[in-house]
Structure 1
Amino acid sequence: MRSRPPAAAFPAAPASSPPKGQSERLLPLIVLAVTVALLAACSREAAPDEAARPVLVAHPTASTHTATAFAGEVRAREESLLSFRVAGKVVERKVDVGEHVRTGQVLAVLDPGDLEAQARAAQAQLIAAQAELASARADQARFDKLAKDQLVSRSTLDAQNAAAEAAQGQVNAARANLEVARNQAAYSQLRAPRDGVIATRNAESGQVVAAGQTVFSLAADGVREIAFALPEGMIAAIKPGQPVLVEAWSQPGKRWAGRIREISPAADPASRTYAARVSVDAPAGAIELGQSARVYLAGNGNGALSVPLAALQRAGDRSAVFVIDAKTSTAKLVPIQTGPFGEDRVPVKSGLSPDAWVVAAGGHLLREGQKVTPVDRDNRPVKPN
């Protein structure tokens, strides 16, 4: 019987290894596991602080409803249409539109030839009438002496007295005619009735004008007013003496108090609007003739504040604005109650204090609690109180 060789004489069987295809399938899984491990390790590290975002901020302002804003024009309270009292040909125009004139300054001149000739004729008539009066007075004295000696009848003396009185009347009439002729000769010069500015010019040299035809319009120095038109639908709600605010187009943001001084009782037949005037308490030189201005009905916003339309955000189903938290310099979304939207602003009825710093633009790029750096419109840093 053949004996079995010892176990050491036989080589050990090699360990089993995965097939080549299976190892290639496992390699992506290993790489993925390593990547997830690395990302998990990175997430455990502290995230860097986010840089503060610069934002434009502004305080809320007094609300003015655009439905009660009217476009107007700066005018003088006293505006005069200047014209010659007599007809004639304009031979000289001494001023132009926009010039400042003084009281009594000559503005234009008519051809004085005919008027001076009329004055000379009136002078001659007065001289003739005075001669007739002197003759009648001499005859009256002689007849009076003859009547005392009873050399002429009483009726003849009365007739001579009547002739003397008639001669006196002729002298008076001739003197009056001479004064009228001299006045008309003086009317050939158009003079400024008061200090002011020439607003319009309607005649030129060489033009023949009628008596009373407008040659210039003069805006007198002194009080300036805002002329505007009221729509027919609002005439019942606006009365003279009502307070308003006035803002010049050239000076946005600057408003002066004023009052409605007068409202026309009749509507313009073409536009169906009522002409109105506002007296404004603006400093001297703050507003100039012809400038455009807006008239706001004061108090119509019921004391509400207003913010720019660009500041509005949404907080659920409500309107909101971002307000700067002074302690943390972060943006806080504050719900507000708004009124009717205007052209560029919206009134805020509640939810906002007058001293709040509101993000006026770029709020759609912010989130609640985000760090911000508030700046004003001149890009200067603002420190909320």
Structure 2
Amino acid sequence: MSYFTTVSRARSLLLLALAASTAGCATKASASDATEAAAPRVRVETAQVREAPMPRSLALTGTLRGDRETDLAANAIGRVLETFVERGAEVKKGDLLARLDVRAAALTAAEAQANAALTRAQEETARRECDRYRALLESGAISRAEHDRIADQCRSAPLSVAAAAARARAASQSVGDGQIRAPFDGVVAERFVDVGEYVRHDSRVVALVSKGALRLEFTVPEASLAAVKPGGALTFTVPAYPERSFTGTVRWIGAAVRETTRDLVAEAEVQDPDGALRPGMFASIALATGEVPSPVVPRSAIVPRAGRAHLFTVVDRRIEERVVQTGVEKGDAVAVLRGVRAGETIVIQPSEELQNGQAVE
């Protein structure tokens, strides 16, 4: 084989390889174009992230309390005969909650009433004696000293009557306390006694909380006291409803900083129109302390997933899902502390099927 023949064959093989490579690239490009053409594009409603003055807030924690709460004590001694409520029962002021065996107190009350009646009779006798001795003194039949001795008895008799009447009322009160009644309208949070138990004056019978109005009790660090003022607005969330935000207004501020914890206790009135909140709930609070320019987005753009807030942005005509940190809310606007900047494009009503990387029409 000559030199020229070898070169010619090598050139032919090189041309064939180049042709095959070109055909392969063309095939890949065609496949890529086909895939791009087949990829589903989505139509979304978008808006730009705008900057607006939003409330600046102080992060605090607190606990919800009933407007009125009490651990109702027996205020009597005796064995529990009956209970009339269970946990969660709604009661009205004056409703009977439990009844005690107060037969011993009833006997004491009867004795006290009898003693009171006896002292009243003795007072009447003493009064008649005083009238008689006064007449004898005026007629000169007795001396002044003898008259004064009887007069002293007459002056002390009303005091004995008053003391006996007070003892009778106290004994009767003990009998009445054997019927334990609700001091206000509310809901039974806990019942502490059962039939057969023996209770004393300080024994807890039921825990009662009022319905409707709630208070949010929270503590403010000493360094942040200047931010808390009566009438200040706050928002808060509770673990039971992580996607909801509730509002309140600061009404009561403690008079002194606690030395042990270096904080101040304050309370706010809470709005709970649908009764979703319960006393004892833990609350994460955002206390408004002023306004600061912040990127804001419509509330409808926020998608909660796995306890975090997500937004869908549009970058180079493709969907880009982001995890963002949200701040306070003002009307329908939500401040975004981290994750997007003012001027970026977001999807304002994302569907559940929307995914990261999808092309936008």
Secondary structure of 1:114 counterpart: helix
| Matched residue, 1:82 | 72
What is the DSSP-based 3-state SS (H/G/I as helix, E as strand, rest coil) of the residue aligned with 2:241?
coil
Q: How far apart are 1:196 and its partner, in Å?
A: 0.8
Show the counterpart of 1:378.
none
Shift of the alpha carbon at 1:75? 1.9
Q: Equivalent residue of 1:254, what SS?
A: strand
Name the counterpart of 2:129. 139
Over 3 Å counting, the alpha-carbon distance change for 1:305 and 1:290 in structure 2 is farther
Contact 1:267 1:274 in 2 (8 A): yes
Cα distance change, pair 215–322 in 1 and its aligned pair in 2 (3 A): same
Task: Please give the alpha-carbon distance, in whole angstroms, between the structure 1 residues aligned to 2:172 and 2:294.
Answer: 66
Q: Does residue 185 of the first structure (1) align with residue 175 of the second (2)?
A: yes
Aligned partners of 1:227 and 1:278 also within 8 Å: yes
1:104 shift after superposition: 0.8
Contact 1:70 1:295 in 2 (8 A): yes
> Does the aligned pair in 1 maintain the 2:44–2:347 contact within 8 Å?
no
| Amino acid in the other structure paired with 1:138 | R
Taking a change above 3 Å as real, the CA distance of residues 56 and 298 of structure 1, as seen in their structure-2 partners, is farther
> Deviations along 1:89-120, whole A, 9 cap, x unmatched?
44443323322211011223333122112211
Asked if residue 118 in structure 1 is aligned to residue 103 in structure 2, the reply is no
Per-residue deviation, 1:252: 3.5
If each structure's strand is expressed as a fraction of its own residues, which one has the higher value? 2
Q: Give the structure 1 partner of residue 251 of structure 2.
A: 261
Contact between 1:304 and 1:349, CA under 8 Å: does it hold in 2?
no
Unpaired runs of 5+ residues, structure 1, are: 1-15, 313-320, 334-338, 374-385
RMSD (Å), alpha carbons: 4.5
| Change over 3 Å in CA distance of 1:205–1:196 after alignment to 2 | same
Match of 1:162?
Answer: 152
For residue 82 of structure 1, report the CA deviation from its aligned partner.
1.7
2:128 counterpart SS class: helix
Q: Percent identity?
A: 26
Give the number of the structure whose alpha-carbon radius of gyration is greater. Answer: 1
Report the counterpart of residue 283 of structure 2 in structure 1: 293
Tell me which residue corresponds to 2:332. none
Deviation at 1:128, TM superposition (A): 1.7
Return 5+ residue gaps in structure 2 as ranges.
303-307, 328-335
**AA paired with 1:32?**
A
Q: Which moved more, 1:273-282 or 1:128-137?
A: 273-282
Quick check: 1:35 aligned with 2:23?
Answer: no
Q: Quote the residue 2:330 is aligned against.
A: none
Q: Take 1:58 and 1:170, find their aligned partners in 2: how far apart are those partners?
A: 89
**Contact 1:75–1:290 (CA<8 Å) still a contact in 2?**
yes
1:318 paired residue number: none
Provide closer, same or farther for how the CA distance between residues 298 and 146 of structure 1 changes in structure 2, counting only shifts above 3 A: closer
Q: Secondary structure at the match of 1:302?
A: strand
| Counterpart among 151, 162, 176 of residue 172 in structure 1 | 162
Letter of the 1:29 counterpart: L
Q: What's the counterpart of residue 352 of structure 1?
A: 343
Any conservation in 2 of the 1:94–1:108 contact (CA below 8 Å)?
Answer: yes
**3-state SS of paired residue (2:16):** helix
Q: Which amino acid aligns with 1:109?
A: R
- SS of equivalent to 2:292: coil
**Contact 2:212–2:275, Cα closer than 8 Å, also in 1:** no
TM-score (norm 1): 0.67
The answer to whether 1:323 aligns with 2:314 is yes
CA-to-aligned-CA distance 1:200-249 (integer Å, 9 cap, x gap): 44444444444344433321234112233444554454344322112343
Deviations 1:2-23 (A, max 9, x none): xxxxxxxxxxxxxx9976x778
Q: Secondary structure in 2 aligned to 1:304?
A: strand
Between 189-198 and 240-249, report the one with greater CA deviation: 240-249
CA contact 1:92–1:109 (8 Å) conserved in 2: yes
